[in-house]
């Protein structure tokens, strides 16, 4: 299983774009990159998943360079409610063992 490295914490202000980068140097050919968001006292919630290039949905964008050794989660115009922990995971979606790291604590200030 590929190990991921993320910043421990980040601060931002409301309305700004936030980019959280995750390193996964040992990513395998079959691995996808998945991001989850977790609020205190709740289970994680899926945000976005991608394999290569760029993926965008209604809440975020995921940028993956050609070598796939890193990925960047982009949150446009964050609000106070985006304050949460964000986890980057790498693995085969057909596999069953999921490894969460410590995540990145994003704190959005007014």
Partner 1 sequence: DTGVSQDPRHKITKRGQNVTFRCDPISEHNRLYWYRQTLGQGPEFLTYFQNEAQLEKSRLLSDRFSAERPKGSFSTLEIQRTEQGDSAMYLCASTGLAGRGEQFFGPGTRLTVL
Residues that bind partner 1 (CB under 8 A): 32, 34, 36, 41-46, 49, 85, 87, 91-103
**Closest distance to partner 1 from the beta carbon of 38 (Å):** 8
Nearer to partner 1, 19 or 98 (CB): 98
Give the single-character DSSP code of 49: E
- Nearest distance from C-beta of residue 109 to partner 1, angstroms: 21
Beta-bridge partner residues of 63: 54, 72
Contact indicator for 12, 77 with CB cutoff of 8 Å? no
Q: How many CB atoms lie within 10 A of CB 58?
A: 5
Closest CB to partner 1 among residues 14, 102: 102
């Amino acid at each position: 299983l590929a190990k991921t490295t993320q910043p421990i914490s980040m601060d931002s202000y409301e309305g700004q774009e936030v980019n959280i980068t995750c390193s996964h140097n040992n990513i395998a050919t079959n691995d996808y990159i998945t991001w989850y968001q977790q609020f205190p006292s709740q289970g994680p919630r899926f945000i976005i998943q991608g394999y290569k290039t760029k993926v965008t949905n209604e809440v975020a964008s995921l940028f993956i360079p050609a070598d796939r050794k890193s990925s960047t989660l982009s949150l446009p115009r964050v609000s106070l409610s985006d304050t949460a922990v964000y986890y980057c995971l790498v693995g085969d979606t057909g596999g069953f063992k999921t490894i969460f790291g410590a995540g990145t604590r994003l704190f959005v200030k007014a």
